[in-house]
């Protein structure tokens, strides 16, 4: 599958007409009811669609069996459309992590998985990918129900990517090898690339299945065993695909899945003495204040236990830079997608929109108009572009930042309120006249809030774009190849998209600079996260050549 922007797989459905708000109405947060009616929204008062999928797996997957938590505790996973309970899920804690690690260790030390030929491992992964496609509608329904993302996005974009990622890493399984190294003296030297052992993995709630694939795929291809902790907000699809892996022939204990909370299950996994590696993606999860703070805690837990290596994919505050030569209509649409995709709950979202002063006013008016056309409602309804935020905490966090923007004297062009009277729906929100020192320009909001800033020249915008603690991604929109080359090389970010955004492919590496994390996921680079390199040196007795 060729690399492509995620939105190319989604339906482009807008409301027939959406009158613009006046600036006075846009600034007035107390005019919520009037603002809602002027958005192309699906009324939250309407009956929500009941997903046609059964929640069958809510227990921990340990050593090939679905089991209750040792404590017997469960916790509710909620429907973000209504706040109502979907199901009660087993609440794993330290004892359950111990059981899962024990199973993974036994499967690695004594089981068949690391001793299988690489080709046999790849066949299991390929069978799994086939099963993902076979059950794509059920998986998409569970993902949308548990997370709030649109069903169309899950079905047409994310589930196919999951299958593609596993096929990609299945292809790598029998191509992992070491080298023969020339050395001074009569010695034969070879390097072996060996699986690292038991991998602990913690996935976030914004793309549960995709992040599952990003981590589990390379770990299995390299011959490791896994203990994976789901995000407590979105545990359902991981259990479902865990069952599919067993059906595909994955031996018991190779993949163990624990649902639970960060302060208990997550911390236990990161600090466990028999876990050899930890890899996490964080979107403001666990019991800490934010993704970067959580990453620091995980690093400390890993270091203070057995000094296990850690790969981190943390937050971002990605700049999206529109130069004066840009096609404004195209730039507006791309900037809109870069920010509002997945309800704004994307670590690499283009959440600082820098626009050249010569086209700034035109861009702001068109960005506001596009936001007003965005269709918000039940993510199971056809034509809906934006569902609810994942839970009440995330909803309140986004609303706090909207209030901060207003209090900082940024201009609220549109949005700023809740859609409907239940669930966690937020109006697509656009701020103009944003300054770099405002919180909405500094912090990761993780919601449908676009901040538009003005710049005057290339040197200025490069400096401002880099003046952040994050460095996950960036976007550059220009017709000038010289400008694109200059800026893309100057930006301190792990991914720079030029005249595109959110182009993801199994082969394209992803990761951050600075406090956006360390290491890379996807592509050949992710294999390094799950391999040890061993040098084997053997004397040569009277060799014919060296």
pLDDT tens, 481-531? Answer: 999 999 999 999 999 999 999 999 999 999 999 999 999 999 999 999 999
Q: In what order do the strands lie in the sheet with 429-432?
A: 411-414, 429-432, 449-455, 352-356, 319-322, 473-477, 495-498
Q: What is the pLDDT of residue 221?
A: 98
Place of tokens 């919520």: 32
**Residue 442 neighbours by CB distance under 10 Å:** 16
User: Which residues participate in catalysis according to the annotation?
Assistant: 313
Torsion 401-404-408-414 (CA) sign: positive
Q: Please state the pTM of the whole predicted model.
A: 0.91
Q: What is the pLDDT of residue 21?
A: 28
Q: What is the pLDDT of residue 281?
A: 86
Q: What is the pLDDT of residue 32?
A: 33
Q: What is the pLDDT of residue 30?
A: 33
SS in 3 state form for 208-261? Answer: HHHHHHHHHHHHHHCCCEEEEECCCCCCHHHHHHHHHHHHHCCCCCCEEEECEC
Spatial CA neighbour of 211 closest among 447, 526, 481: 526
Q: What is the pLDDT of residue 6?
A: 54
Residues of the chain with pLDDT under 50: 1-2, 4, 7-38, 41-45, 284-290
**Residue 200 neighbours by CB distance under 10 Å:** 31
Q: What is the pLDDT of residue 276?
A: 97
Spatial CA neighbour of 306 closest among 69, 101, 514: 101
Host H or E run for residue 293: helix 291-304
Place of tokens 């930006």: 491
Number of residues that make up the chain: 546
Q: What is the pLDDT of residue 23?
A: 31
Which one-letter DSSP state was computed for residue 468?
A: S
Torsion, CA 51, CA 56, CA 59, CA 64, rounded to 10: -130
Question: In degrees rounded to 5, what are phi and psi of residue 65?
Answer: -130, 145
Q: Which two tokens stand for residue 356?
A: 């050249």
Q: Which long-range contacts (CB under 8 A, 24 or more apart) does 518-522 make?
A: 518/310, 518/311, 518/312, 519/279, 519/311, 519/312, 519/313, 520/494, 521/214, 521/215, 521/218, 521/279, 521/281, 521/311, 521/313, 522/165, 522/214
Q: Yes or no: say if 318 and 348 are a contact pair by the CB < 8 Å rule.
A: yes
């Amino acid at each position: 599958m060729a690399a492509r922007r995620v939105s190319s797989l989604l339906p482009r459905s807008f409301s027939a007409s959406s009158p613009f708000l006046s600036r006075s109405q846009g600034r007035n947060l107390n005019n919520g009811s009037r603002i809602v009616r002027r958005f192309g929204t699906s009324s939250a008062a309407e009956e929500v669609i009941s997903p046609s999928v059964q929640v069958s797996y809510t227990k921990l997957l340990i050593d090939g069996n679905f089991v209750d938590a040792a404590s017997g505790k469960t916790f509710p996973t909620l429907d973000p459309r209504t706040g109502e309970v979907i199901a009660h899920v087993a609440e794993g804690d330290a004892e359950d992590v111990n059981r899962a690690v024990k199973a993974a260790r036994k499967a690695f030390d004594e089981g068949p998985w690391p001793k299988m030929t690489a080709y046999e491992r790849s066949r299991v992964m390929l069978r799994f990918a086939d099963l993902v496609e076979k059950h794509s509608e059920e998986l998409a329904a569970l993902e949308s129900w548990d997370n709030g993302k649109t069903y169309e996005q899950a079905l047409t974009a994310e589930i196919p990517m999951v299958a593609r990622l596993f096929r990609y890493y299945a292809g790598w399984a029998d191509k992992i090898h070491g080298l023969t190294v020339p050395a001074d003296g009569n010695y034969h030297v070879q390097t072996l690339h060996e699986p690292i052992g038991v991998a602990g993995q913690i996935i976030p709630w914004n793309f549960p299945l995709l992040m599952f694939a990003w981590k589990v795929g390379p770990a299995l291809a390299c011959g490791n065993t896994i203990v994976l902790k789901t995000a407590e907000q979105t545990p359902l699809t991981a259990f479902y695909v865990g069952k599919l892996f067993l059906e595909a022939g994955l031996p018991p204990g190779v993949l163990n899945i624990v649902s639970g909370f960060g302060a208990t299950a997550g911390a236990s996994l990161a600090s466990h003495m028999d876990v050899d590696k930890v890899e996490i993606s964080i979107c403001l999860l666990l019991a800490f204040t934010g993704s970067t703070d959580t990453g620091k805690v995980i690093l400390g837990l890993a270091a203070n236990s057995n000094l296990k290596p850690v790969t981190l994919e943390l937050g971002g505050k990605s700049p999206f830079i529109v130069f004066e030569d840009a096609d404004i209509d195209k730039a507006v649409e791309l900037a809109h997608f870069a920010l509002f995709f997945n309800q704004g709950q994307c670590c690499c979202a283009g959440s600082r929109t820098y626009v050249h002063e010569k086209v700034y006013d035109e861009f702001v008016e068109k960005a506001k108009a596009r936001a007003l056309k965005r269709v918000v409602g039940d993510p199971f309804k056809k034509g809906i572009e934006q569902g609810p935020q994942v839970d009440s905490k995330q909803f309140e966090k986004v609303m706090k930042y909207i209030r901060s923007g207003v209090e900082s004297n940024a201009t609220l062009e549109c949005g700023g309120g809740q859609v409907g009277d239940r669930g966690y729906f937020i109006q697509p929100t656009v701020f103009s006249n944003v300054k770099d020192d405002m919180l909405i320009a500094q912090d990761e909001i993780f919601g449908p809030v676009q901040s538009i800033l003005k710049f005057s020249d290339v040197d200025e915008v490069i400096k401002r774009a880099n003046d952040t603690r994050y460095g996950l991604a960036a976007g550059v929109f220009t017709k000038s190849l010289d400008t694109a080359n200059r800026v893309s090389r100057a930006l301190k970010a792990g991914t720079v998209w030029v005249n595109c955004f959110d182009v993801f492919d199994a082969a394209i590496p992803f990761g951050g600079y600075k406090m956006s994390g360390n290491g890379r996921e996807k592509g050949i680079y992710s294999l390094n996260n799950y391999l040890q390199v061993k040098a084997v040196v053997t004397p040569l007795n009277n060799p014919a050549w060296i």
